[in-house]
Structure 1
C-alpha cells in the first residue's frame, strides 16, 4: 500500500422508497499538512450531534465543519493521517475526545508529562484533551492512523480551561 493512494470511501443513504443504497463512491485524496510529507485525508465530518442522516452535504467538504484545528465543533470528524518516516507531529492538544486507531506501521505516542509508548497495527489510543506528539520512528515505513474526533467540553485544570494548542493548520480546502 502506498501512503499516497486515495482512500476508497463508500457513503450509503436511501432512495425514494426508503431502501438503503450507495449514494457515493469517491476516492478521498491526501492533503499534505507538514513539510515532511505527512498528510490528512478527511473522510467525513458532521456539524452536530446527534448527526442528521438526512443532510445531503458531503461530509468531506466544507462548510460541514470548521475551525483552525479541524475539531468537530459540535459534531464529529473522521480522518486518516499518514505520518512520514522519521517524522514527528508538533506537540499539540485538541479540545475533543479522539480515538486513534493504528492501521499500519508503528508510531510513538509522547505525552507532555514525558511518558512514551510505541503503538502498532490495531492498537487504539483514546486521547482525552492531552498534549501529545505522534512520532514515526521508522526509517522507511509510513504510519497510517484513523482518527475519530468527537466534541468534548474544554478540559479544566485548576480552574483554567485548556484549549487547542499548536495543532497543524492542515489543508486549506477542507
Structure 2
C-alpha cells in the first residue's frame, strides 16, 4: 500500500494552476506597506490604518485598486459614508475592478450617494449598475425611495409595485415597511 502512494502519476505532480485574468503585480515596497495597513485594519486600529493607507504610493493600476479598497475598508470601519463613496470613486477609476463585481459595486455607490443626499448621482449609479446587469429588488426599492425623497410619489408607485410583485414571486415575505410605502 505504501508503494502505491509513492508512485503517483506524473500528471498529478505537474498540475499547473490556471489563473484567470492578468497577473497580479505589486512592487515589494507597496506589498509590504499594504500588508502593514491590512494588519492595522484587521486589528481595527483605525488611526494606524489611516496613516499607513495614506502613506501608500501606488505606481500601477492594480496598486491603485488595492489602495482604494483599503480606503473603503477604513471608511467602513469608521462608518464614514462620504469617505466610502469617495473610495469607491477611486476604485472605479482603475481598470482592475473585477467585471463580476462592478455591477454590485455600482449599486453600493448608488446607495452611498443616496445616504449622503446626492440623489442625482445615486440615480446615475443605479442606471450604470443596471446596464452592467444588476437588477435586484433592492435597486428598485432604492429608486422608489429616491422618488419619494424628491416628493414624486407618482414615480415611486410603479417602482414599489414592481418590487412588491418581485418579492412575492420570489416566495419571500414582504417587509411591512415596504407595504407602508406603497
TM-score (norm 1): 0.27
- Larger CA Rg, structure 1 vs 2: 2
Which structure dedicates a bigger proportion of its chain to helix? 2
Which structure dedicates a bigger proportion of its chain to strand? 1
